[in-house]
Amino acid sequence: MSGGEHGHIPVMAQRILDLLAPAVTRHSATGEGAVVVDATLGAGGHTELLLRAFAGLTVVGIDRDGAARQGAAARLAPFGDRVSINAGRYDELARVLAEPVGLGRALPEVDGVLFDLGVSSMQLDQRNRGFAYAVDAPLDMRMNTDDPLTAADVLNTYSHGELARVLADYGEERFAGRIASAVVAARREQPFTTSGRLVELLYSTIPAATRRTGGHPAKRTFQALRIEVNGELDSLKAALPAALDALAVGGRAVVMSYQSLEDRIVKREFAQRSRSSSPAGLPVELPGTAARFALVTRGAEQATEDEIEANPRSAPARVRAIERIAPDGVEGGAR
Protein backbone atom coordinates (compact mmCIF):
# COMPACT_ATOMS: atom_id res chain seq x y z
CA MET A 1 0.00 0.00 0.00
CA SER A 2 1.32 3.42 -0.88
CA GLY A 3 1.52 6.21 1.60
CA GLY A 4 0.55 8.63 -1.16
CA GLU A 5 1.11 12.32 -0.61
CA HIS A 6 1.50 11.76 3.12
CA GLY A 7 4.66 9.68 2.62
CA HIS A 8 3.82 7.06 5.24
CA ILE A 9 3.50 3.37 4.41
CA PRO A 10 1.69 1.43 7.16
CA VAL A 11 3.69 -1.61 8.27
CA MET A 12 2.05 -5.03 7.69
CA ALA A 13 -1.08 -3.20 6.56
CA GLN A 14 -3.00 -6.14 5.10
CA ARG A 15 -2.23 -8.42 8.02
CA ILE A 16 -3.43 -5.81 10.52
CA LEU A 17 -6.63 -5.46 8.51
CA ASP A 18 -7.14 -9.24 8.41
CA LEU A 19 -6.60 -9.59 12.18
CA LEU A 20 -9.09 -6.85 13.08
CA ALA A 21 -11.72 -7.67 10.43
CA PRO A 22 -13.53 -10.46 12.34
CA ALA A 23 -14.03 -8.16 15.32
CA VAL A 24 -15.10 -5.16 13.24
CA THR A 25 -17.56 -7.11 11.06
CA ARG A 26 -19.11 -9.50 13.55
CA HIS A 27 -22.38 -7.50 13.54
CA SER A 28 -22.20 -5.94 10.07
CA ALA A 29 -20.13 -6.56 6.95
CA THR A 30 -19.44 -2.82 6.70
CA GLY A 31 -18.49 -2.47 10.36
CA GLU A 32 -21.59 -0.39 11.05
CA GLY A 33 -21.53 0.75 14.68
CA ALA A 34 -18.09 -0.76 15.35
CA VAL A 35 -15.33 1.25 17.05
CA VAL A 36 -11.58 0.63 16.87
CA VAL A 37 -9.01 2.51 18.94
CA ASP A 38 -5.77 3.35 17.13
CA ALA A 39 -3.77 3.93 20.30
CA THR A 40 -0.68 5.07 18.36
CA LEU A 41 -2.25 7.16 15.60
CA GLY A 42 0.99 8.59 14.21
CA ALA A 43 0.60 9.66 10.59
CA GLY A 44 -2.79 7.91 10.42
CA GLY A 45 -1.84 5.21 7.91
CA HIS A 46 -3.45 2.27 9.67
CA THR A 47 -6.53 4.32 10.56
CA GLU A 48 -6.98 5.36 6.92
CA LEU A 49 -6.70 1.71 5.87
CA LEU A 50 -9.42 0.67 8.34
CA LEU A 51 -11.78 3.51 7.47
CA ARG A 52 -11.52 2.76 3.75
CA ALA A 53 -12.06 -0.96 4.28
CA PHE A 54 -15.12 -0.66 6.54
CA ALA A 55 -17.59 2.07 5.57
CA GLY A 56 -19.47 1.93 8.89
CA LEU A 57 -16.45 1.92 11.20
CA THR A 58 -15.47 4.70 13.61
CA VAL A 59 -11.84 5.02 14.73
CA VAL A 60 -10.69 6.76 17.92
CA GLY A 61 -7.08 7.84 17.44
CA ILE A 62 -4.68 8.72 20.27
CA ASP A 63 -1.24 10.29 19.97
CA ARG A 64 0.97 12.34 22.27
CA ASP A 65 2.77 14.06 19.36
CA GLY A 66 1.08 17.30 18.32
CA ALA A 67 2.75 17.30 14.90
CA ALA A 68 1.52 13.73 14.31
CA ARG A 69 -2.04 14.65 15.25
CA GLN A 70 -1.97 17.65 12.92
CA GLY A 71 -0.71 15.55 10.01
CA ALA A 72 -3.19 12.77 10.72
CA ALA A 73 -6.06 15.27 10.89
CA ALA A 74 -5.22 16.49 7.37
CA ARG A 75 -4.89 12.95 6.05
CA LEU A 76 -8.14 11.74 7.64
CA ALA A 77 -10.26 14.84 6.98
CA PRO A 78 -12.24 13.12 4.18
CA PHE A 79 -13.69 10.70 6.74
CA GLY A 80 -15.35 13.45 8.77
CA ASP A 81 -16.90 12.38 12.06
CA ARG A 82 -15.94 8.74 11.54
CA VAL A 83 -12.60 9.56 13.16
CA SER A 84 -11.90 11.13 16.56
CA ILE A 85 -8.36 12.45 17.14
CA ASN A 86 -7.30 12.73 20.78
CA ALA A 87 -4.21 14.09 22.54
CA GLY A 88 -2.62 11.69 25.00
CA ARG A 89 -0.35 8.72 25.58
CA TYR A 90 -1.67 5.25 24.91
CA ASP A 91 -1.80 4.52 28.64
CA GLU A 92 -4.49 7.23 28.82
CA LEU A 93 -6.83 5.06 26.74
CA ALA A 94 -9.45 4.75 29.49
CA ARG A 95 -9.59 8.53 29.92
CA VAL A 96 -9.98 9.08 26.18
CA LEU A 97 -12.77 6.52 25.90
CA ALA A 98 -14.69 8.28 28.68
CA GLU A 99 -15.02 11.33 26.41
CA PRO A 100 -13.63 10.93 22.87
CA VAL A 101 -13.23 14.19 20.95
CA GLY A 102 -16.16 14.87 18.63
CA LEU A 103 -18.18 11.73 19.35
CA GLY A 104 -20.41 13.19 22.05
CA ARG A 105 -20.62 9.93 23.98
CA ALA A 106 -18.54 7.71 26.22
CA LEU A 107 -17.40 4.31 24.94
CA PRO A 108 -17.69 1.68 27.69
CA GLU A 109 -16.39 -0.98 25.31
CA VAL A 110 -14.83 -1.13 21.84
CA ASP A 111 -14.41 -3.70 19.09
CA GLY A 112 -10.70 -3.38 18.49
CA VAL A 113 -7.51 -1.76 19.72
CA LEU A 114 -4.35 -1.35 17.65
CA PHE A 115 -0.88 -0.51 19.00
CA ASP A 116 1.95 0.26 16.55
CA LEU A 117 4.75 0.77 19.05
CA GLY A 118 8.07 2.58 18.94
CA VAL A 119 9.13 5.62 16.98
CA SER A 120 7.08 6.37 13.88
CA SER A 121 8.39 6.80 10.35
CA MET A 122 7.28 10.42 10.47
CA GLN A 123 9.32 11.08 13.63
CA LEU A 124 12.38 9.38 12.16
CA ASP A 125 12.08 11.53 9.05
CA GLN A 126 11.89 14.80 11.03
CA ARG A 127 15.59 15.43 11.46
CA ASN A 128 15.25 18.08 14.15
CA ARG A 129 13.63 15.58 16.54
CA GLY A 130 16.89 13.69 17.16
CA PHE A 131 15.47 10.16 16.83
CA ALA A 132 17.73 9.08 13.96
CA TYR A 133 21.44 8.49 14.50
CA ALA A 134 22.18 8.84 10.79
CA VAL A 135 21.91 12.65 10.90
CA ASP A 136 23.32 15.26 13.26
CA ALA A 137 20.43 16.85 15.16
CA PRO A 138 19.55 18.22 18.61
CA LEU A 139 19.38 15.45 21.23
CA ASP A 140 15.67 15.76 21.87
CA MET A 141 13.81 12.44 21.25
CA ARG A 142 10.57 13.60 22.90
CA MET A 143 7.42 12.22 21.30
CA ASN A 144 5.51 15.00 23.05
CA THR A 145 7.56 18.17 22.70
CA ASP A 146 5.81 19.63 25.77
CA ASP A 147 7.40 17.00 28.03
CA PRO A 148 10.31 18.35 30.08
CA LEU A 149 12.95 15.59 29.76
CA THR A 150 15.14 15.37 26.64
CA ALA A 151 17.86 12.93 25.62
CA ALA A 152 20.42 15.67 26.25
CA ASP A 153 19.13 16.00 29.82
CA VAL A 154 19.63 12.28 30.37
CA LEU A 155 23.19 12.36 29.03
CA ASN A 156 24.17 15.52 30.90
CA THR A 157 22.53 14.98 34.30
CA TYR A 158 22.22 11.24 35.03
CA SER A 159 24.86 9.66 37.24
CA HIS A 160 27.17 7.00 35.86
CA GLY A 161 25.06 4.28 37.48
CA GLU A 162 21.78 5.70 36.18
CA LEU A 163 23.16 5.98 32.65
CA ALA A 164 24.52 2.45 32.70
CA ARG A 165 21.17 1.13 33.95
CA VAL A 166 19.26 2.89 31.16
CA LEU A 167 21.62 1.62 28.47
CA ALA A 168 21.64 -1.93 29.82
CA ASP A 169 17.93 -2.25 30.59
CA TYR A 170 16.43 -0.36 27.66
CA GLY A 171 19.09 -0.84 25.00
CA GLU A 172 20.38 -4.26 26.04
CA GLU A 173 23.81 -2.71 25.51
CA ARG A 174 26.63 -5.01 26.64
CA PHE A 175 29.05 -2.06 26.90
CA ALA A 176 26.69 0.06 29.02
CA GLY A 177 29.22 0.72 31.79
CA ARG A 178 31.98 1.65 29.35
CA ILE A 179 29.69 4.01 27.42
CA ALA A 180 28.43 5.63 30.64
CA SER A 181 32.03 6.28 31.73
CA ALA A 182 32.86 7.86 28.37
CA VAL A 183 29.75 10.08 28.50
CA VAL A 184 30.48 11.30 32.03
CA ALA A 185 34.08 12.12 31.07
CA ALA A 186 33.08 13.91 27.86
CA ARG A 187 30.35 16.03 29.44
CA ARG A 188 32.84 17.46 31.93
CA GLU A 189 34.48 19.20 29.00
CA GLN A 190 31.27 20.13 27.18
CA PRO A 191 27.60 19.16 27.63
CA PHE A 192 26.01 17.01 24.93
CA THR A 193 23.67 18.91 22.63
CA THR A 194 23.66 17.05 19.29
CA SER A 195 23.42 13.46 18.14
CA GLY A 196 26.54 13.68 15.98
CA ARG A 197 28.84 14.08 18.98
CA LEU A 198 27.20 11.13 20.73
CA VAL A 199 27.58 8.93 17.66
CA GLU A 200 31.29 9.83 17.47
CA LEU A 201 31.71 8.89 21.12
CA LEU A 202 30.00 5.54 20.56
CA TYR A 203 32.22 4.75 17.58
CA SER A 204 35.31 5.42 19.68
CA THR A 205 34.03 3.54 22.76
CA ILE A 206 32.57 0.33 21.35
CA PRO A 207 35.26 -2.16 20.27
CA ALA A 208 35.93 -2.41 16.54
CA ALA A 209 35.15 -6.14 16.42
CA THR A 210 31.67 -5.51 17.82
CA ARG A 211 31.10 -2.63 15.39
CA ARG A 212 31.83 -4.93 12.47
CA THR A 213 29.27 -7.57 13.47
CA GLY A 214 26.73 -5.96 15.81
CA GLY A 215 24.99 -3.45 13.56
CA HIS A 216 25.27 0.32 13.94
CA PRO A 217 27.01 1.08 17.25
CA ALA A 218 24.50 3.83 18.08
CA LYS A 219 21.35 1.74 17.61
CA ARG A 220 21.06 0.38 21.15
CA THR A 221 22.02 3.62 22.88
CA PHE A 222 19.52 5.67 20.86
CA GLN A 223 16.79 3.12 21.58
CA ALA A 224 17.57 3.25 25.31
CA LEU A 225 17.54 7.06 25.44
CA ARG A 226 14.24 7.25 23.53
CA ILE A 227 12.58 4.73 25.84
CA GLU A 228 13.82 6.58 28.94
CA VAL A 229 12.78 10.03 27.69
CA ASN A 230 9.27 8.87 26.78
CA GLY A 231 8.67 6.31 29.52
CA GLU A 232 7.64 3.86 26.82
CA LEU A 233 7.82 0.55 28.66
CA ASP A 234 5.98 1.79 31.74
CA SER A 235 3.30 3.25 29.46
CA LEU A 236 2.95 -0.05 27.62
CA LYS A 237 2.65 -2.03 30.86
CA ALA A 238 -0.23 0.24 31.90
CA ALA A 239 -1.86 0.51 28.48
CA LEU A 240 -2.23 -3.19 27.66
CA PRO A 241 -4.51 -4.08 30.62
CA ALA A 242 -6.63 -0.98 29.94
CA ALA A 243 -6.99 -1.94 26.29
CA LEU A 244 -7.98 -5.54 27.03
CA ASP A 245 -10.43 -4.46 29.70
CA ALA A 246 -12.11 -2.14 27.15
CA LEU A 247 -12.76 -4.89 24.60
CA ALA A 248 -16.28 -6.18 23.99
CA VAL A 249 -16.76 -9.94 23.70
CA GLY A 250 -15.52 -10.78 20.21
CA GLY A 251 -13.27 -7.72 20.20
CA ARG A 252 -9.58 -7.97 19.38
CA ALA A 253 -6.35 -6.23 20.36
CA VAL A 254 -3.47 -6.21 17.88
CA VAL A 255 0.01 -5.10 18.93
CA MET A 256 2.95 -4.49 16.63
CA SER A 257 6.34 -4.08 18.33
CA TYR A 258 9.79 -3.49 16.93
CA GLN A 259 12.15 -4.63 19.67
CA SER A 260 12.34 -7.50 22.11
CA LEU A 261 11.64 -5.47 25.27
CA GLU A 262 8.21 -4.42 24.00
CA ASP A 263 7.41 -7.83 22.57
CA ARG A 264 8.18 -9.56 25.88
CA ILE A 265 5.74 -7.30 27.71
CA VAL A 266 3.02 -8.03 25.15
CA LYS A 267 3.73 -11.77 25.16
CA ARG A 268 3.56 -11.91 28.96
CA GLU A 269 0.29 -9.93 29.21
CA PHE A 270 -1.39 -11.95 26.45
CA ALA A 271 -0.25 -15.26 27.96
CA GLN A 272 -1.59 -14.30 31.37
CA ARG A 273 -4.97 -13.19 29.99
CA SER A 274 -5.45 -16.33 27.89
CA ARG A 275 -4.60 -18.75 30.71
CA SER A 276 -7.00 -20.38 33.17
CA SER A 277 -6.51 -19.28 36.78
CA SER A 278 -7.31 -22.75 38.14
CA PRO A 279 -4.42 -24.24 40.13
CA ALA A 280 -2.26 -26.52 38.00
CA GLY A 281 -2.85 -30.24 38.30
CA LEU A 282 -6.59 -30.23 38.97
CA PRO A 283 -8.60 -32.80 36.98
CA VAL A 284 -11.25 -30.17 36.10
CA GLU A 285 -11.25 -26.41 35.83
CA LEU A 286 -12.71 -24.58 38.82
CA PRO A 287 -15.84 -22.45 38.24
CA GLY A 288 -15.05 -18.86 37.34
CA THR A 289 -11.41 -19.53 36.46
CA ALA A 290 -11.63 -20.09 32.68
CA ALA A 291 -9.75 -17.65 30.47
CA ARG A 292 -11.69 -14.63 29.18
CA PHE A 293 -9.31 -14.24 26.23
CA ALA A 294 -7.84 -16.47 23.51
CA LEU A 295 -4.71 -15.96 21.44
CA VAL A 296 -5.35 -15.24 17.76
CA THR A 297 -1.73 -15.44 16.64
CA ARG A 298 0.53 -18.31 17.64
CA GLY A 299 3.74 -16.59 18.55
CA ALA A 300 4.75 -13.31 16.93
CA GLU A 301 4.08 -12.89 13.21
CA GLN A 302 6.55 -11.08 10.95
CA ALA A 303 6.43 -9.24 7.65
CA THR A 304 6.85 -11.23 4.45
CA GLU A 305 10.04 -11.01 2.42
CA ASP A 306 8.18 -9.08 -0.27
CA GLU A 307 6.97 -6.46 2.21
CA ILE A 308 10.40 -6.08 3.78
CA GLU A 309 11.84 -5.49 0.31
CA ALA A 310 9.16 -2.86 -0.42
CA ASN A 311 9.26 -1.29 3.06
CA PRO A 312 12.53 -2.06 4.93
CA ARG A 313 11.15 -0.50 8.14
CA SER A 314 8.85 -3.52 8.47
CA ALA A 315 11.78 -5.91 8.98
CA PRO A 316 11.87 -5.85 12.81
CA ALA A 317 8.06 -5.79 13.25
CA ARG A 318 6.46 -8.48 15.44
CA VAL A 319 2.66 -8.76 15.57
CA ARG A 320 0.55 -10.45 18.24
CA ALA A 321 -3.25 -10.51 18.53
CA ILE A 322 -5.73 -11.60 21.19
CA GLU A 323 -9.55 -11.84 21.32
CA ARG A 324 -11.97 -11.50 24.23
CA ILE A 325 -14.12 -14.63 24.32
CA ALA A 326 -16.13 -13.99 27.52
CA PRO A 327 -17.01 -11.06 29.76
CA ASP A 328 -15.49 -10.75 33.21
CA GLY A 329 -17.27 -12.87 35.77
CA VAL A 330 -18.53 -15.39 33.19
CA GLU A 331 -17.00 -18.68 32.14
CA GLY A 332 -14.77 -18.43 29.07
CA GLY A 333 -15.79 -20.37 26.01
CA ALA A 334 -13.97 -22.48 23.49
CA ARG A 335 -13.02 -20.87 20.20
Is 234 assigned to a binding site? no
Is 125 annotated as contributing to ligand binding?
no
Q: Answer yes or no: is 116 a known binding residue.
A: yes
C-beta pairs of 295-300 under 8 Å, 24+ apart in sequence: 295/270, 295/320, 295/321, 295/322, 296/19, 296/252, 296/321, 296/322, 296/323, 297/19, 297/321, 300/257, 300/263, 300/267
Q: Is 44 annotated in some ligand binding site?
A: yes
From the annotation, which residues make up the binding site for S-adenosyl-L-methionine? 44-46, 63, 90, 116, 123
From the annotation, which residues make up the binding site? 44-46, 63, 90, 116, 123
